[in-house]
């Protein structure tokens, strides 16, 4: 079997140069890299990752544990993590806990249920000696305990860690809501209704704070009667549409694009239109939001940015650097045609 020394000799470079190229390091010229990789491909050389890890006490492997890959937020966060891993010569192993697929929504506040799946996953990551773990939550929630007995550096993405050894990267729900509600206010709207998610959900709670902040900054009195906690799906938005419109609002802040879809359906069935008879904004910038008629003004979550930030924090932890306990990644408002100027 060909060795790394033989490859180095044939290419006229050092074994360290060949090693750097095989491990994805960037400090090698492209001509040298191409020459070495051509020999590697021709000889069929395979890097022995296990032996390499034993020598360095590192495996150059990051474990990604996702609560449910089926969540629309998860794939892009994983993509962000993988981008940074590739840039820094790390491989990834992904585990899907399938929380939503297993239990729908009954697991949200059941730590025993969550830990029954989470702990074996962390234990398995420990058994294959990953250098660190990125844990990707399905939605914003407080995670009071992340298994720490394995001493694996870890970062939570999209959830709030209550363990000071495990930092978190989350979206800035509060400021994102403040910005989109201010946009409605700047268009002349002062009676703004809200179709929210569940009242005990952290996303909903933080977005209500942003809504209140925008009202306060504009000198508008907060009226709790204009807030309806509907749930996150289209069916909930549709079910509560009549109730919110009966309150005489001129604009509605929907806390998800799916909720907005329900409101759009109700408006269509009653010969009304967003952006013409009432202003509507959503949240998430899911693909469907650009296909609504008219296009839905909404908020884009920087999911890839969350993944990248989480992975960069993990790299800092692996290098022994101090990290912040909580990082909020800003969102971006996407302006379409669903908001009108109130005359």
For residue 50, pLDDT beyond 50 = no
In a domain, 127, yes or no: yes
Per-residue model confidence (pLDDT) at position 211 = 98
Residues 233 and 270 in one domain: yes
**Quick one: pLDDT band at residue 52, thresholds 50, 70, 90?**
low
Integer angstrom CA distances of residue 71 from 187, 290, 306, 307: 33, 19, 15, 15
In a domain, 334, yes or no: no
For residue 47, pLDDT beyond 70 = no
Specify the CATH number for the domain of residue 15.
1.10.260.40
In a domain, 211, yes or no: yes
For residue 56, pLDDT beyond 60 = no
Whether the Cβ atoms of residue 278 and residue 318 lie closer than 8 Å to each other: no
Per-residue model confidence (pLDDT) at position 41 = 80
Identify the residue with better confidence: 36 or 177: 177
Q: What is the pLDDT of residues 176-187, one digit of tens each?
A: 999 999 999 999
One DSSP character per residue, 13-30 reads S-HHHHHHHHTT-S-S-H
Tell me which residue range forms the domain holding 116. 58-166
Q: What is the pLDDT of residues 130-151, one digit of tens each?
A: 999 999 999 888 888 777 667 8
Per-residue model confidence (pLDDT) at position 26 = 65
Q: What is the pLDDT of residues 306-330, one digit of tens each?
A: 999 999 999 999 999 999 999 999 9
Last residue of a domain, one of 166, 190, 225: 166
For residue 333, pLDDT beyond 80 = yes
**305 sits in which H/E element:** helix 303-318
Average pLDDT of the chain?
90
Specify the CATH number for the domain of residue 274.
3.40.50.2300
* Cα atoms in the Cβ-side hemisphere of radius 13 Å centred on 263: 37
In a domain, 259, yes or no: yes
pTM for this one?
0.80
Per-residue model confidence (pLDDT) at position 55 = 45
Residues 260 and 144 in one domain: no
For residue 51, pLDDT beyond 70 = no
In a domain, 309, yes or no: no
Per-residue model confidence (pLDDT) at position 46 = 65
Last residue of a domain, one of 129, 150, 166: 166
In a domain, 306, yes or no: no
Q: 264-283 burial string, b = 16+ CB within 10 Å, else e?
A: bebbeeeeebbbeebbbbbb
Per-residue model confidence (pLDDT) at position 24 = 66
129 phi-psi bin (left φ>0, alpha ψ -120 to 50, beta other) = left
For residue 107, pLDDT beyond 90 = no
In a domain, 231, yes or no: yes
Residues 179 and 295 in one domain: yes
Number of domains the chain is built from: 3
One DSSP character per residue, 320-339 reads T----SEEEEP-EEE--SS-
233's CB contacts (< 8 A; 6+ apart) are 256, 258, 259, 262
The pLDDT of 293-303, averaged and rounded, is: 97
For residue 14, pLDDT beyond 80 = yes
CB atoms within 10 A of CB 27: 7
Question: 3-state class of 161 per DSSP?
Answer: strand
Residues 181 and 267 in one domain: yes
One DSSP character per residue, 90-138 reads -EEEEEE--HHHHHTTTTTT-HHHHHHHHHHHHHHHHHTT-SEEEEE-S
The structure tokens 């993988």 sit at 82
Identify the residue with better confidence: 278 or 47: 278
Residues 285 and 186 in one domain: yes
**Quick one: pLDDT band at residue 31, thresholds 50, 70, 90?**
confident
**229 sits in which H/E element:** strand 227-229
In a domain, 17, yes or no: yes
Residues 283 and 178 in one domain: yes
Q: What share of the chain is helix, strand, coil (3-state, %, to 5)?
A: 45, 15, 40
**Quick one: pLDDT band at residue 210, thresholds 50, 70, 90?**
very high
Residues 209 and 235 in one domain: yes
Q: Which two tokens stand for residue 109?
A: 């506040």
Residues 211 and 157 in one domain: no
Nearest 5°: the CA angle 49, 133, 313 is 105
The pLDDT of 106-126, averaged and rounded, is: 84
The pLDDT of 152-162, averaged and rounded, is: 93
Residues 177 and 288 in one domain: yes
């Amino acid at each position: 079997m060909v060795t790394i020394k033989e490859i180095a000799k044939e290419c006229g470079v050092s074994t360290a140069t060949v090693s750097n190229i095989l491990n994805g390091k960037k400090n090698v010229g492209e001509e040298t890299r191409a020459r070495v990789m051509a020999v590697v491909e021709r000889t069929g050389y395979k890097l022995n990752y296990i032996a390499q890890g034993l020598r360095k006490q590192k495996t150059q492997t990051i474990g990604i544990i996702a609560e449910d890959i089926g969540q629309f937020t998860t794939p892009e966060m994983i993509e962000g993590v993988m981008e940074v891993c590739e840039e820094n010569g790390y491989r990834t192993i992904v585990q899907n806990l399938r929380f939503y697929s297993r239990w729908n929504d009954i697991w949200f506040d059941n730590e025993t249920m969550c830990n029954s799946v989470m702990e074996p996953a962390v234990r398995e990551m420990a058994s294959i000696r990953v250098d660190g773990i990125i844990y990707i939550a399905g939605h914003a929630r407080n995670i009071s305990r992340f298994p720490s007995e394995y001493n694996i550096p870890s970062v939570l993405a999209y959830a709030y860690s209550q363990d000071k050894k495990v930092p978190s990267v989350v979206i800035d729900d509060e400021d994102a809501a403040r910005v989109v509600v201010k946009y409605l206010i700047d268009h002349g709207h002062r009676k703004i209704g809200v179709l929210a998610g569940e009242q005990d959900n952290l996303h909903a709670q933080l977005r209500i704070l942003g809504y209140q902040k925008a009202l306060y900054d504009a000198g508008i009195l907060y009226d709790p009667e204009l807030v309806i906690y509907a749930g996150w799906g289209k069916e909930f938005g549709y079910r509560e549409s009549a109730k919110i419109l009966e309150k005489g609002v001129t604009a509605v802040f929907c806390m998800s694009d799916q909720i907005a879809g329900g409101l759009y359906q109700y408006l269509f069935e009653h010969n009304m239109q967003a952006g013409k008879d009432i202003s509507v904004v959503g949240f998430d910038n899911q693909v469907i939001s650009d296909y609504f008629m008219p296009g839905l003004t909404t908020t884009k979550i920087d999911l890839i940015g969350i993944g990248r930030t989480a992975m960069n924090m993990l790299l800092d932890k692996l290098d022994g650097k101090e990290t912040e306990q909580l990082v909020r990644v800003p969102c971006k408002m996407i302006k379409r045609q669903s908001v009108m100027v109130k005359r």
